[in-house]
Amino acid sequence: MSKDYKGIWPVMYAFWGEDGRLDREAMKRQIDYCIAMGVHGITVHGLVTEVHKMDVNERMHLVEMVGDLIGGRTQYAVTVAEPTIKGQVAFSHAAARAGADFVILQPPAIKGITQDNLIDFFGSVADAVDVDVAIQNNPVNLDVSLSVGSMIELNRRHPNIGILKGEGFSIDIETVIRGSGGAFKVFGGHGGIEFPALLRSGGVGLIPAPDYIAGDMQIWRLWEQGGAANLPLIDRIHAEMLPAIVFMSRSVPAMLCYGKRLFARQAGIEEVHDRAPFVTPTEFGLEELVRFEAMLARAGAPESLAA
């Protein structure tokens, strides 16, 4: 790989204007807020980016917009979910032109695809692009995923695939890290629901929704500064964040409804417009956001939890 990737790389929400189009000003506020928090990179086109509600032209437009708004201030990763090898290669080339440091390949949504065919699919894309390559393995939210053994075999056959967005069980992630001899740089996901375990297993960072950035950054700094010696405080910060993380992890539609609004409150984005189909927030749900916001503020100020 061309760079040493690590740290916190939040996945950008898609903010829409009243006209139903992507809202550049709200996207700028989001990116500026995350960069001001000290993130190590910005990611786009994860599940929270609502890629399932965009056509390919909108997805490419957003890749170019985010690259322009980053303006070289931090690193950049783009998830690629086109259904064919040719499509993923073309989109990866375009992402690289827009400034992406690496691409995150999603598996094709073909139920029943064999593990060997999945390895060949990812390998064919990786061998045809001139940008660093990650694989997203999400057995919770995606219909297709690699087994632990297949992830190790993928790296053996295609050593240029050296980054993994691993969103399964922390035990499986540790097995991949150990079984591949550390060949994979593994980032966790799922909002960091097992973030301390990921760090202990040898993971190099987190690719979360941006809702929890303050706490995620505190955990990362404490880990870099003191490693296992700081685990008691890391665990207290993580425990403060967990109710919000679990709430948002119930479903992707719930995250797009409530998680986006929770983040908007933090980033000073005053209006959130939804693109259909969407979940309408309830009064109780919005009240929960106020409670979560207070929890996340405490997580972002570890001195309040140090005792």
- CB 1, CB 132: distance < 8 Å: yes
| Residue 104, beta-bridge partner list | 79, 134
85 in a known ligand binding site: no
* 3-class SS string, 36-86: HCCCCEEEECCHHHCHHHCCHHHHHHHHHHHHHHHCCCCEEEEEECCCCHH
**Upstream peptide bond of 210 is cis (omega within 30 degrees of 0):** no
Cβ-Cβ contacts under 8 Å for 119 (sequence gap 6 or more):
146, 150, 153, 154, 157, 158
* Closest by CA position to 87, among listed 116, 56, 115, 63: 56
Q: Which long-range contacts (CB under 8 A, 24 or more apart) does 140-143 make?
A: 140/167, 140/168, 140/190, 141/47, 141/167, 141/252, 142/106, 142/107, 142/109, 143/109, 143/111
Name the maximum alpha-carbon separation found in the chain. Answer: 55
Cβ-Cβ contacts under 8 Å for 131 (sequence gap 6 or more):
92, 93, 95, 96, 100, 101, 102, 103
* For helices 56-70 and 85-97, angle between their N-to-C axes, nearest 10 degrees: 30
Known binding-site residue numbers: 207
Known binding-site residue numbers for pyruvate: 207
